[in-house]
Structure 1
């Protein structure tokens, strides 16, 4: 029997194609074995430096030399990586995920009170009520679409409760707007539809701001609007934070619920254990996030000068990105990384 040797990694390593999208873990294993940092190519044409191993990923995420502000990106990165065109990029992409201290610290302070453990615990009965309502509406017999019937709705309903989004406005939010975070080039046939989504979302955000300004609510959205009126936030920062809450605050959670359900269906013994012993739930959540996270890659990071990253020289302004999925399957950190283990 002839064992076929894997092909050597190319430079850059393409992160695209059906095999990669279906199961990226074999490629991540090869990359980890070859070294902690690799130059990669995304479908959009963006080239970046990908960090893979657990220790290297942990170090990169805590490396003060790496900043997240897009102004650090060089012209080559900015030409291809901008999520959306101007002026929308400058109006909606100055949120927390793209800020460094002290701006990040200031903006974070404005939102953290809404997500404290004490407040979340106080709202848990309401979250359970929302979940029960969706589950009760599922068909009692026959096949059930758990994405369309539950995962696509539960995160946004929870988010609306937490941030103070009025019921009438929450009912008019179009989940299709979440696709504005997927880059679409200026010559792409889907560009007109992309721009329509973008303008629709901007108009919706303007409605939310106007409603909160008129009613003076004391919830998170109301406090953010008040911070803008008091000069603590610019209009772009306010709109960007609301954009982040509405899109990043619910769509990735829908994807994670879906990914977790798939993992449990593929491991029926673990699903049975969890169903029979709900006390395993906290451990199960952590393990499902580790085993196959919908949060596959971090946001872009940049050095402001040519720098060494785990033995690799990275030019200033080149994008660095961490693969959380690759780090969470590192056998040097997790003895049996490909196994879903609820113990």
Structure 2
């Protein structure tokens, strides 16, 4: 790792609004040494064109085995044996294994099936707001955004209701590992064990009662040897965690943007036909995925004029790319009518999010339902006092207190 000053990508002020830092970095070039909360140092790519080129660079791999000792000694990766058992999913695979595993998800999330399920998703969204609408105030995270994505996910992947009711949202925190010396280490390990036991129950349930759903097809692939036990558990882990928490955060960041831009909120409320374009703009403006996951060069390499040692982590800032004035006019402004809008909130290249279509559907339904059911919506807190989650890769708020006109 270079001796050059590394920019810290953490802290309450940075998480509240990282865009000033990203602008400074973009102005200096494409690649920058950065430091993460664990102490690990890596290389951050900023700028739209640089991001797209990096995300399609065939020299970069996602498999953690490519990471060097310096990275591994500090990276906040899941401890063993859970790392080997739960971390061999799509995000950490390269072709051809990645291609094979990804096909299960893309087939289950095909556009025709999602469109057929849309009325069911809409009914879920309305039902969640039935209790909140007559009150006139509440926390949108607790009442809606922390619950809606999981209801949708359960339906899409085939998680039976009796198991869906027993899923604990705190299990999603296992993607934010804590170090061996942390006082929270024991609690973290307990969450890992609880989630592993739950995944084992899901597998046993779908094996005993197979159906025509994604979970059942994954279990079938394990039974016939196409997926190992670890790959099966990892894919279910990824679906349960990555399939819902980022969507919760995306609803939250979108609503924060609207609530802090009253003119945009009024515009969308008055003209719901703007929803498709508005959703794309809200994802560009403040994406739930601030950074991509690690990538590695298998040998020392040049990246935009910077020498990157083999096994050092390379991270792309999707947030910085989506606010690049070289690609987007008035990049720091929220424009719900922006078109075209080639944002990369879902990544780019072969690791483009396979759940992008589902995420778009969920966000549109969530926004339309909230604005329709909760009229005259206002933020019930100072924007500067909102608590942003300390996640390394993602953005979102822990609570979102609002007021609105109570309706029957």
Report the TM range for the smaller structure's normalisation: over 0.9
After superposition, the C-alpha distances for 1:299-341 in whole angstroms (9 at most, x for unaligned) are 1000101111111110110000000001111110112111000
Distance in 2 (alpha carbons) for counterparts of 1:111 and 1:340: 32
Shift of 1:139: 4.1
Of 123, 131, 134, 2:125 maps to 131
TM-score using structure 1 length: 0.96
Q: Describe how 1:233-244 pairs up with structure 2 within 5 A.
A: 233-244=227-238
Shift of 1:281: 0.6
Per the alignment, residue 7 of structure 1 pairs with none
Per the alignment, residue 293 of structure 2 pairs with 299
Number of equivalenced pairs: 334
Per the alignment, residue 6 of structure 1 pairs with none
Runs in 1 of length 4+ with deviation above 4 angstroms?
none
Distance in 1 (alpha carbons) for counterparts of 2:188 and 2:12: 24
Please state whether the residue corresponding to 2:44 is helix, strand or coil: strand
Distance in 2 (alpha carbons) for counterparts of 1:82 and 1:23: 23
Task: Assess if the C-alpha contact under 8 Å between 1:44 and 1:183 holds in 2.
Answer: no
Per the alignment, residue 256 of structure 1 pairs with 250
Please state whether the residue corresponding to 1:48 is helix, strand or coil: strand
Unaligned runs of 5+ in 1: 1-9
Per the alignment, residue 272 of structure 1 pairs with 266
Per the alignment, residue 145 of structure 1 pairs with 139
Of 82, 101, 110, 1:107 maps to 101
Per the alignment, residue 283 of structure 1 pairs with 277
TM-score using structure 2 length: 0.81
Mapped pair 1:179 → 2:173: yes
Per the alignment, residue 213 of structure 1 pairs with 207
Distance in 2 (alpha carbons) for counterparts of 1:137 and 1:48: 46
After superposition, the C-alpha distances for 1:32-57 in whole angstroms (9 at most, x for unaligned) are 00011001000111111000111000
Distance in 2 (alpha carbons) for counterparts of 1:270 and 1:291: 13
Q: Describe how 1:1-343 pairs up with structure 2 within 5 A.
A: 11-343=5-337
Please state whether the residue corresponding to 2:43 is helix, strand or coil: strand
Aligned alpha-carbon RMSD (Å): 0.9
Distance in 1 (alpha carbons) for counterparts of 2:222 and 2:19: 44
After superposition, the C-alpha distances for 1:82-128 in whole angstroms (9 at most, x for unaligned) are 42110000000000010010000010112211101111001101100
After superposition, the C-alpha distances for 1:206-228 in whole angstroms (9 at most, x for unaligned) are 00000000012221100100000
Task: Assess if the C-alpha contact under 8 Å between 1:50 and 1:321 holds in 2.
Answer: yes
Task: Assess if the C-alpha contact under 8 Å between 2:38 and 2:76 holds in 1.
Answer: no
Please state whether the residue corresponding to 2:315 is helix, strand or coil: strand
Unaligned runs of 5+ in 2: 338-408
Task: Assess if the C-alpha contact under 8 Å between 2:48 and 2:327 holds in 1.
Answer: yes
